[in-house]
Amino acid sequence: MHTTNLGPHHALNSKNASERFVLNLFDRLWEKYRSRVSYVNNYETLIQEAGASFFNDHIALRTFCSQNPLAGISSISRIFEALGYRAAD
């Protein structure tokens, strides 16, 4: 499953440039996550050994906060909202 420079979405076909942008963005976020969280490689190995695949269709921004409302989660969320995503519980 894990191939250098390819994220979990590399095999998905996008319908348009906006969708390809989102898929590439999620892959880059996954790469950052993989570099910071040690057990991600274990997860990828388990998925690969099971002959399965995965893709992430969301991100959690709950840990991104700031006292300045112009620099907090609302500023980041606007990017995803412009791409069609909506906040969820």
pLDDT digits (tens, 9 = 90+) for 73-88: 777 777 878 878 877 7
* Mean pLDDT score, 4-25: 78
Q: Is the pLDDT of residue 40 over 60?
A: yes
Q: pLDDT averaged over the chain?
A: 77
pLDDT of residue 4: 47
**Residue 5 falls inside a structural domain:** no
Q: Which domain holds residue 76?
A: 58-89
- pTM over the 0.85 mark: no
- Buried b / exposed e over 31-58, threshold 16 CB at 10 Å, is beebeeeeeeeeebeeeeeeeeeeeeee
State the total domains in the chain: 2
Q: Is the pLDDT of residue 47 over 80?
A: yes
Give yes or no: residues 71 and 86 share one domain. yes
Give yes or no: residues 35 and 49 share one domain. yes
* Mean pLDDT score, 9-24: 83
Q: Is the pLDDT of residue 1 over 60?
A: no
Tokens of 27: 């892959």
According to DSSP, the residues that pair with 3 across neighbouring strands are: 6
Give yes or no: residues 48 and 22 share one domain. yes
**Residue 50 falls inside a structural domain:** yes
